[in-house]
Homo-oligomer: A and B are copies of this chain.
Amino acid sequence: MSVGTRAHRPRTRIQREKRELILEAALEVFSAHGFRGSTIDQIAEAAGMSKPNLLYYFRRKEDIFTTLIHRLMETWLAPLHELDNVGDPMTELRGYIRRKLEMARDYPRESRLFANEILQGAPRIMLLLEGELKALVDEKAEVIRGWMRDGKIARCDPRHLIFSIWATTQHYADFDVQVRAVLGPDRGGDGRFEDAARFLEQLYLEGLRP
């Protein structure tokens, strides 16, 4: 009997290990080829097991994907959660941009996985977007609006500010090949994230000065 069918039996050590192995392999494959572009065989091979064996731990291809994307959602939104009004507003925002850019650098697969899902119309995470994500953005937008009322940063639409930070930082993960191609072999090799950080820091520092 497969793992999924057993009703609420606690997970075995092997089950925990193998499921992690599969999810790691699936992240690699899904982020590179998208959902439909990936096959169970590819994931199974990347995880070092046979296809029926993989299907013993996840009954359907889609189960792997949804498990993966729901889990990643938390880590992906962590930087925004950290944004609060304890420190200096400009420092807070700069820190947020820096953390988002670091995530694009260190977790490009996660970024591309999300981008792919959103591009396809987000069929599997629409409820998450309308629920948790919207609530989080609304909450943080209110924090930012407070900064504006206090005259700490320039007045603007805080939600579009958040969008622009998402867009500019994730661009370096999602459009990596384009960035590399345009920058050429010299600056595309490395250090492009430092350049990006410098540029974005300046843009937002000056652009949001009250």
Contact = CB atoms under 8 A, between A and B. Distances in A.
Given A37-B37, A157-B198, A171-B167, A184 B118 contact: no
Instruction: Sort chain A's interface into a size bin.
Output: 35 or more
Contacts of A182: 129, 133-134, 137, 159, 163
Interface string A137-163: 100000000000000001011011101
Contacts of A166: 171, 175
Contacts of A40: none
Contacts of A98: none
A165 to B, nearest CB: 9
- Residue of A163, A164, A171, A206 with highest tally of chain B CB at under 10 A: A163
Interface in A23-74: 32-37
Contacts of A204: 203, 207
Contacts of A32: 120-121
Nearest to A155: B202
Contact of A206 (B122, B177, B181, B209): B209
A83 to B, nearest CB: 15
A112 interface: yes
Given A112-B119, A177-B121, A195 B157 contact: yes
Nearest to A187: B159
A174 interface: yes
Contacts of A154: 202, 206
A108 to B, nearest CB: 11
Interface of A: 32-37, 112, 115-116, 118-122, 126, 129-130, 133-134, 137, 154, 156-157, 159-161, 163-164, 166-168, 170-172, 174-175, 177-179, 181-184, 195-196, 198-200, 202-209
